Amino acid sequence: MRFRACCLILVSGLVFAPAIDAQNREADVKTAFARAQHLRRGINTSHWFSQNASDYSAHHTDTETTPQDITTIAQLGFDNVRLSIDATPLEQGFHGGDFLARLDKAVDEILAAGMAVQIDLHPEEAFKEQVRTSNNGVDRLVSLWRKLASHYADRDHERVFFEIMNEPEVSDPYRWAGIQARVAAAIREVAPANTMIATGPNYSDIVDLLTQHPLPDGNVIYNFHFYDPHEFTHQGASWGAPFWIYEHDIPYPPTEDSMAARVKEVPDLADRYKLENYWLDHWDSHRIRLLIDEAANWAKTNNVPLICNEFGVYREKAAPASRLAWLQDVRTALEADGIGWAMWDYHEGFGVAVKDKEGRSVVDPATVEALGLKK
């Protein structure tokens, strides 16, 4: 009789354990959805603690983005800042120096201004190459996140988010899924209450997101980046496709009148073909909305919250009216699908502001308006 009672207890445990796990995950998903409301309208502070490998000195981080900039960002109506952090100086910071103290100051300034902060691990190519090609590189990533998550685990759980990696550039979606799951588990061990931000492989495009299944952890927000079509958004850029740097005044939306002669000016036939496809593919607000709908449908199907934490147009060679039209079309499509966003970037090449000759940030009212904010 005692043996039978013990068996019943064991069987009961086996029956109810999955149900308890499901209940816990459901509670975690609700937490993630609730916290995603802090990430409705964001801005990226690029080149502050990342993308400036030649100089992460105190002078750089104290002057590149200032406390006044943070105040301005909050006053414009942004509710969060995506704070990108290069992996290499961060690793070094855990072994000495003042990099970590300066990073803490930046995080605390953002929080004190009433905004949430996405702590975005934003490595340079060499770090990504190790992660992409070796298990030692993955070990390095996991180790760094254990330290970083532990360091910020005592900050405001409602408003401090851990983004696993910016645009991982891992082409194999299965490898990236395994890496991301391992990093997420390591973060959760040292930071049980914080919400993570996960992404797809490669460059975090929508098509990359669609290759992924949600992590077992329910307290996760998913993200994608949107720069389509690059022939328009990256015209004049010195990185990426070689012909981008020669592009200028590419209109959005394209029309036959605006593009037919311009396409003929491109001497390389392959480049001409790519630019012609930008025109023939009918890029407009309707097409953008349909693409973003695909990401929204993925999130709805998987019952997970979703954000787009990068989108923008490189300023240097883009016609202002076309740039503003694209920004407004993307922003309104995201909002129509209930997707929070963070524009790239604050006052660098894509900025909502531009720097004057003295290095001060001057907000562009037209960009603010395109984002649905008020100066």
Instruction: Determine how many CB atoms are found less than 10 A away from the CB of residue 116.
Output: 24
Report the alpha-carbon distance of residue 265 to residue 307 in Å, rounded: 38
Residues in the chain: 375
User: Domains along the chain?
Assistant: 22-236+284-370 (3.20.20.80)
The predicted pLDDT at position 115 comes to: 98
Q: For residue 57, what is the enclosing H or E element?
A: none
Report the alpha-carbon distance of residue 72 to residue 81 in Å, rounded: 12
The predicted pLDDT at position 23 comes to: 84
The predicted pLDDT at position 98 comes to: 96
* Cβ proximity of 324 and 233 under 8 Å: no
First to last CA, the chain: 77
Report the alpha-carbon distance of residue 200 to residue 167 in Å, rounded: 8
Residue 151 φ then ψ, to 5°: -65, -40
Q: What is the pTM of this model?
A: 0.92
DSSP-H helix ranges across the chain: 2-36, 58-64, 67-75, 87-93, 99-112, 125-133, 135-152, 173-190, 206-209, 230-233, 256-264, 269-280, 285-302, 320-336, 365-370
The predicted pLDDT at position 2 comes to: 47
Indicate the residue type of 99: F
Report the alpha-carbon distance of residue 225 to residue 312 in Å, rounded: 9
Report the alpha-carbon distance of residue 341 to residue 330 in Å, rounded: 10
The predicted pLDDT at position 302 comes to: 98
Residues of the chain with pLDDT under 70: 1-20, 375
Strand-strand pairing, 116-121 and 160-163 = parallel
Look-up of token digits 């330290």: 147
* Cβ proximity of 184 and 159 under 8 Å: no
Instruction: Determine how many CB atoms are found less than 10 A away from the CB of residue 26.
Output: 12
